[in-house]
Amino acid sequence: MEKIKVMVVDDSVVVRKIVTDVLSEDPMIQVVGTAANGRIAVAKLEQLKPDLVTMDIEMPDMNGIEAVRAIRSRAGGQAYSRVPIIMFSTLTERGASATLDALSAGANEYVTKPANVGSVAQSMESVRQQLIPKIKALTGRPITSGPAAAPAPAAVAPRPPAPRTRAAKQPAVLVIGSSTGGPEALSKVLPLLPASLPVPVLLVQHMPPVFTRQFAQRLDRLCPLQVVEAVDGTPLAPGTVHIAPGDFHLTVSSSGGNKRTALNQAPPENFCRPAVDVLFRSAVAAYDGAVLGVVLTGMGSDGRIGAGQIREAGGTVVAQDQATSVVWGMPGAVTQAGYADEVLPLGRVAEAITRLLPHPRPTGGTVRPLTTMGGAR
């Protein structure tokens, strides 16, 4: 198998060396070149022909967001206009906002720069654990260890859903899980759901703290539904989407027929906190299986066990198909386990959700105005 050719783009000599050294230690990866800003990176694409680019955000002359836009907008669909791009970002409000801008511009994924670590060795280990699995996943190579360990994905026909042991229940809640490629996928699915959606929505997108709050705010500007970062103890009502905050599991508590959000910092599952399996499992318990689960693009297999529990309890599961997934890890695991009732391209997921839920509730005539990502209502 040929090595994965990577170009490293960062204005910091130190960061370029750390990333280059870490990647060069992996026998499946070859760093074919570096660039100190986005303009140099764009100019080097045709010469270096990388399989993937790591891109800093804050750089002189042309920053990372501008570089992503330049690469994605290359006229006539030139070679390398679709090269996978992983952003390097900081765990700050500004860094989160810029990263979400980069994902909207066409970047595929991001990793956070090491912060408050005591040595170069620790910085290198942080980069190694975050970056290498994502490089391999985005280039279709096998991942041999860590949270996303998986063989190289092959084009496979979806496995038919396993036979049901009981009739499907009408969903009383919608739960969604996503990871790599999820922000863009969710920005295409959620805005198509009506404000009159008759059930509450709970969502796990693998993201660190700060990022989830800003992501919720951006989706809220795009959607007829209200989108919020989940807060512990909030009553669940139709028409509101609760996004799990970074580093907290999101669950559903039920007492006396009243359903509320609940947050905890129990150990990670599938190396993740928040974890999709945790949310799906709690929704099954709180709603006695009357659950519609949706699993979108993402690395690893988080959501597979929970999807099986949804289906076993009488719920329904929809998975994104391989062709439209950035990484078909999570939805692929659900599909190949026989837990997906429907395997659909991203463009059909919103329609399926609307079709599978009860008839929409009356809206009372008030419609929330929409804006584009990043704008204000």
Q: Within 10 Å of residue 239's Cβ, how many Cβ atoms?
A: 20
Contact between 340 and 193 under an 8 Å Cβ cutoff? The reply is no
* CB-count exposure of residue 366 (10 Å: 0-12, 13-18, 19+): exposed
Q: Catalytic: 359?
A: no
Contact 152, 140 (CB under 8 A): yes
Tokens 């949310």 belong to 279
10, 51, 206, 249: the active-site residue: 206
303: left (phi over 0), alpha (psi -120 to 50) or beta: left
253 belongs to the catalytic site: no
Q: Of 178, 179, 187, 301, which one is the catalytic site residue?
A: 179
Q: Catalytic residue at 179? A: yes
Cα–Cα distance, 268 to 273 (Å, whole number): 5
Burial 43-72 (b: 16+ CB within 10 A, else e): ebbeebebbbbbbbbbbeebbbbbbbbbbe
Return the active site residues.
179, 206, 302
